[in-house]
Amino acid sequence: MLTYLLIILVILWLLGVVRIPAFSLINIPLLYIGRKAIGLYDILVFALIVWLIRILPSPLREIVAVFLILWLLSFFGLFFLGGLYNLLILILIIGLLLHILGWFY
């Protein structure tokens, strides 16, 4: 199950980083909160991170929860760090891969 989650996370990360015109439906804004547009890609990554929080063991669960809070704070503009979203997703992919390989419990 974690392997499938890792594959889905990598595919969503690649779709978010590499803009493919055929998959532009993922990047269309669905709703607006304040002045921030929220697209299908953001909703899918949020659901995937919440799913990660539910299934990972205790030390990784807290790390992912902190990443979720940092991502939400940067998304709504309370603080700005350029590229934080992609960096957090990349760290989650690496952490999940290390957990699957048994290097990080």
Q: What is the pTM of this model?
A: 0.68
Rounded to whole angstroms, the Cα distance separating 90 from 6 reads 11
What integer pLDDT is reported at residue 42 of this predicted model? 80
Where are the domains positioned within the chain? 2-101
- Mean pLDDT value of segment 28-43: 83
Which candidate, 80, 87, 9, places its Cα nearest to that of 51? 9
The confidence band for 66, taking pLDDT boundaries of 50, 70 and 90, is confident
